Chains A and B, each alone.
Chain A
């Protein structure tokens, strides 16, 4: 059982590494969105610093969403999903491996890039650990919830916009908690409360969403 989990993880990792350009796209998108804001609102460092918690989080959220659109598409088109569904292994376990691999390669890179962009927005270095930690806890939730939407829309020709429509409202708690943590850190307040809440959301989504993703994929495959 866990053997299949590890095998699928390795396979997905191999697939992602053989198409490095696709891994880079969300990162570049993340950086560009952040670069747009100083151009739009002006370069005053005070203003930028005060809006940066929300800014970093909204950009991260959109970048994750963008990267998820194609999460299951190629597996759907080449028939891999059918093979997963008819296999004796629980589909929820397989999708968890898939989403985990995706997060390790795209979400984690996003987390690592964020402090650099945070510095460019004028975030003080003392807040960077909170930024890192909040993204580290929050992006898995974003990936898992987004995967539910990706599973439901995988059979549709143009699912991208619909995916955003379905999933963005569900991202709101993560956005509030993540940017709240950063805001608290910026004001010199403890951010542990926010981070603990984020951690519990992570635990909740790791346990529950695989079943929803599996249900969504079964429906999409059975169409």
Chain B
């Protein structure tokens, strides 16, 4: 059997002398969605940052296609779309400028594609408005518009549903599910339970592990 696309082996994370989790194993195959759950401070964000290679684990390792992550930086960068709690949106730039830059970091997108993505998240007409004039939910939508552009297979999203209205939540759930059905992978944290789950859905509860 081939090795999973992304896996964590005996992962431990310690922050400021506090052990968040230890000996954590997980694996992710194409088509799967992993929801990381748990109470505040249980290390959800830290786990996501470890998987995205932004943080180094205290012990254990993260592997990409069976090889340690630090040897696979370029490979990971090509396949990963990371949207953190702060999504890298500049208030002084317009929605279009923000997206153009974020896409250029990975693969440049045309102006039409960006406008289409913005329309898909319901921001038609806001393309050239500076982002600091948008509401929190609208800013989140700007960041999430990246998911509607030509996107890499692995999505790691930290609290993507924050500040979205009910319609936006439903739309995003459907989009994530469709991405997994199409062979993509999603790792996300969220406090609400997903109503639309793809076939490869599973959940990891960090709170239960600790208990």
Contacts and interface: CB of A to CB of B under 8 A. Distances in A.
Please tell me whether chains A and B touch each other in their complex, using a CB distance cut-off of 8 A.
yes
Interface of A: 3-4, 7-8, 11, 14-15, 18-19, 74, 77-80, 82-89, 221-223
Contacts, number: 69
Contacts of A4: 104-105
A7 B104 contact: yes
A83 B102 contact: yes
Nearest to A88: B77
A84 B86 contact: no
| Interface bracket on B | 20 to 34
Interface string B41-78: 00000000100111110000000000000000010111
Contacts of A8: 101
Nearest to B76: A86
Given A78-B89, A78-B90, A89 B54 contact: no
Given A11-B97, A87-B106, A79 B53 contact: no
Contacts of A78: 86-91
Across the A-B interface, the 10 shortest Cβ-Cβ residue pairs = A79-B86, A88-B77, A87-B105, A79-B88, A83-B88, A80-B88, A18-B92, A222-B55, A86-B82, A79-B84
B104 A86 contact: no
A222 B45 CA distance: 12
B106 A88 contact: yes
B104 A19 contact: no
A8 B80 CA distance: 20
Contacts of B202: none
Nearest to B78: A88
B88 A85 contact: no
B124 interface: no
B92 A15 contact: yes
A89 B104 CA distance: 10
B85 interface: yes
26 contacts: A3-B104, A8-B101, A11-B93, A14-B93, A18-B130, A77-B86, A78-B86, A78-B89, A79-B87, A79-B89, A83-B82, A83-B102, A84-B105, A85-B53, A86-B54, A86-B76, A86-B82, A87-B77, A87-B105, A87-B106, A88-B77, A88-B105, A88-B106, A89-B105, A221-B54, A222-B54
Contacts of B77: 86-88
Interface of B: 49, 52-56, 74, 76-78, 80, 82, 84-93, 97, 101-102, 104-106, 108, 130
A78 B142 CA distance: 13
A74 B86 CA distance: 11
A11 B54 CA distance: 24
A70 to B, nearest CB: 14
A4 B55 CA distance: 24
A206 to B, nearest CB: 23
Q: Select the residue from B76, B87, B90 with max chain A CB neighbours within 10 A.
A: B90
B88 A7 contact: no
A25 B92 CA distance: 19
Given A14-B92, A83-B102, A88-B74, 20 more contacts: A11-B97, A15-B92, A15-B93, A18-B92, A78-B88, A78-B89, A78-B90, A82-B82, A82-B84, A82-B86, A85-B54, A86-B52, A86-B53, A86-B54, A86-B76, A86-B77, A86-B80, A86-B82, A88-B77, A88-B78
